[in-house]
Amino acid sequence: MTLCPIALVVGCKKCPAFSICPVKASIGDYKPDAPAAHTGAAKKPPASKHN
C-alpha cells in the first residue's frame, strides 16, 4: 500500500529523494528487481591431476 504522498502523485522513481529514501519499498510504490541468482562461492578452476 502506497502511503508516501509523492509516490501517490508521481511515483517513487520520479521523486527527488529516490536515491536516498530508506522507506521507498515500504511506504512507496518501488518494487526492487529480482536479484540475480547467486551461486555461492566463486568458481574455482578444476583441480590439476598429478600422475
For residue 33, the model assigns a pLDDT of 79
**CA 39 and chain centroid, separation:** 18
Give per-residue pLDDT as tens, 1-51.
889 999 999 999 999 999 999 998 888 888 887 665 555 556 666 677 766
For residue 9, the model assigns a pLDDT of 93
Read off the pTM.
Answer: 0.54
Domain ranges of the chain: 1-31
The alpha carbons of the chain give a radius of gyration, in whole angstroms, of 21
